[in-house]
Amino acid sequence: MIDIKLIRENPDLVKENMKKKFQDYKLELVDKVLELDKKNREVKLKGDELRSSRNSLSSQIGNLMKSGNREDAEKIKAEVNEINTQLIDNEKSEAELANEIKNIMMKIPNIIDDSVPIGKDDSENVEVKKYGEPVVPDYEIPYHTDIMEKLAGIDLDSARRVAGNGFYYLVGDIARLHSAVISYARDFMINKGFTYCIPPFMIRSDVVTGVMSFEEMDAMMYKIEGEDLYLIGTSEHSMIGKFKDQILKKADLPYTMTSYSPCFRKEKGAHGVEERGVYRIHQFEKQEMIVVCEPEESYEWYDKMWSYTVELFRSLQIPVRTLECCSGDLADLKAKSCDVEAWSPRQKKYFEVGSCSNLTDAQSRRLGIRVRGEKGNYFAHTLNNTVVAPPRMLIAFLENNYNPDGSINIPEVLRPYMGGIDKINVK
């Protein structure tokens, strides 16, 4: 959520930002907010005037009573009672207007950074840099679920019987590999100075609306029936929610945390042929990184965060590239975002395995995350980034470490988490 002062002082900038995001259908929201804001300020002014009149009249009552002028005192009491009635109606109007303004403000996108490329959707994202040499071996690499099945590592049929499509059983060495990657990612981030955390896996609606747009909420979140609780789609949700309504000490910033959680997503929309198997699923696990920092430091942290993901994947011998997300591909709360994509030698192309985002103060405004400053409190900046998210990451791992005999090489950094083995062999 942006500052309403920006809409008052520069509505054209806010509208131009909407146009850059190809959200012309939202342009009317700016004028609507200005109209409601004007009414709200008029109502507030009227409330101040009524309270001032009430205070002035109330002070007269005591003096009149002391002088024995009860008749005039009673008349003024009646005036005060009438003002109180007007104040009740006025405060109700003020609350209704404030709520209407907030609901509209929640739909107005964050101001994107000047460096964000302009484009309608993810097809216009811009490649920034490649890391590692993408190799296509001279032997065939099977589909990832076929690789897992030959290693007796996945059971999709049983999962469909138990939970339906979009779920899986990981078994044996593949399940161990999955856990090994998560554990390695955890220690990797701890070694970068991040604090490890396991958050709640459910959050309340006021946290959900604080961390994401209404569109994202509808497309992603599973609601717990009969309770004000949602299953998290990523641990970023509960990790940022940890700071809700807090006034942080400047000396304690930045907060740098890495969190583990299962993630639950509806995954609405059409799925392509390469999204079968375990690419796009309703339940997975993820290691995340979150930063809450000073506003002037957020883009420095942004560059550090995506670079950590690149470094981790390269340590596992997986070539990656970074993509700058264009304006039309940015969720409403994001000011800037980039994707990390891993190389698929089977598909001969890259695919997304993580995303890094700077949300500036958009989440902080929604959640009330402020910093106590010398000249007054101000909103912190929040950032999040995927460290690693198996089993999708396993697709890249298996393909890039696949041998002609069906075995999988285990990179040296992962061997301590795999009991020292250097290879997973076909059973």
pLDDT at 269 over 60: no
Percent over 90 (pLDDT), the chain: 84
Instruction: Name the more confident of 77 and 319.
Output: 319
pLDDT digits (tens, 9 = 90+) for 208-265: 999 988 778 878 899 999 999 999 999 999 999 999 999 999 999 999 999 999 999 9
How far CA 210 is from CA of 23, 99, 178, 262, 306, in Å, comes to 21, 15, 31, 20, 23
pLDDT confidence band for 141 (50 / 70 / 90) = very high
191 and 329 belong to one structural domain: yes
88 and 134 belong to one structural domain: no
Domain membership of residue 50 (yes or no) is: yes
> Among positive and negative, which fits the CA dihedral 31, 32, 33, 34?
positive
pLDDT at 270 over 50: no
96 and 146 belong to one structural domain: no
Domain membership of residue 54 (yes or no) is: yes
25 and 139 belong to one structural domain: no
Q: Which one, of 184, 47, 32, 221, lies nearest residue 108 by Cα? A: 32
Beta strands in 227-319 (DSSP E): 230-231, 247-249, 255-264, 283-293
Predicted pLDDT of residue 268: 58
Domain holding 94, by residue range, is 4-105
67 and 139 belong to one structural domain: no
Predicted pLDDT of residue 326: 98
100 and 127 belong to one structural domain: no
Domain membership of residue 277 (yes or no) is: yes
pLDDT at 287 over 90: yes
Domain membership of residue 189 (yes or no) is: yes
Of the candidates 105, 140, 164, which is a domain's last residue? 105
Structure tokens at 25: 């259908």
pLDDT digits (tens, 9 = 90+) for 126-138: 999 999 999 999 9
pLDDT confidence band for 62 (50 / 70 / 90) = low
78 and 208 belong to one structural domain: no
CATH of the domain at 71: 1.10.287.40
Q: What is the mean pLDDT of the chain?
A: 93
Q: Which pairs from 335-339 meet CB under 8 Å and 24+ separation? A: 335/110, 335/111, 335/112, 335/113, 335/116, 335/359, 335/360, 335/362, 336/112, 336/113, 336/115, 336/116, 336/299, 336/302, 338/128, 338/306, 339/125
Task: Output helix, strand, coil percentages for the chain, rounded to the nearest 5.
Answer: 50, 20, 30
For residue 84, how many other CB atoms are within 10 A of its CB?
A: 12
Domain membership of residue 114 (yes or no) is: no
141 and 99 belong to one structural domain: no
24 and 96 belong to one structural domain: yes
Of the candidates 52, 70, 105, which is a domain's last residue? 105
Domain membership of residue 384 (yes or no) is: yes
Least confident interval from 265-279, 320-334, 396-410? 265-279
Q: How many domains does the chain have?
A: 2
168 and 81 belong to one structural domain: no
Q: Are the CB atoms for 77 and 69 separated by under 8 Å?
A: no
Predicted pLDDT of residue 275: 52
146 and 36 belong to one structural domain: no
pLDDT digits (tens, 9 = 90+) for 166-188: 899 999 999 999 999 999 999 99
Domain membership of residue 113 (yes or no) is: no
CATH of the domain at 339: 3.30.930.10
pLDDT confidence band for 42 (50 / 70 / 90) = very high
The H or E element containing residue 222 is strand 222-223
Domain membership of residue 110 (yes or no) is: no
41 and 130 belong to one structural domain: no
Predicted pLDDT of residue 272: 46
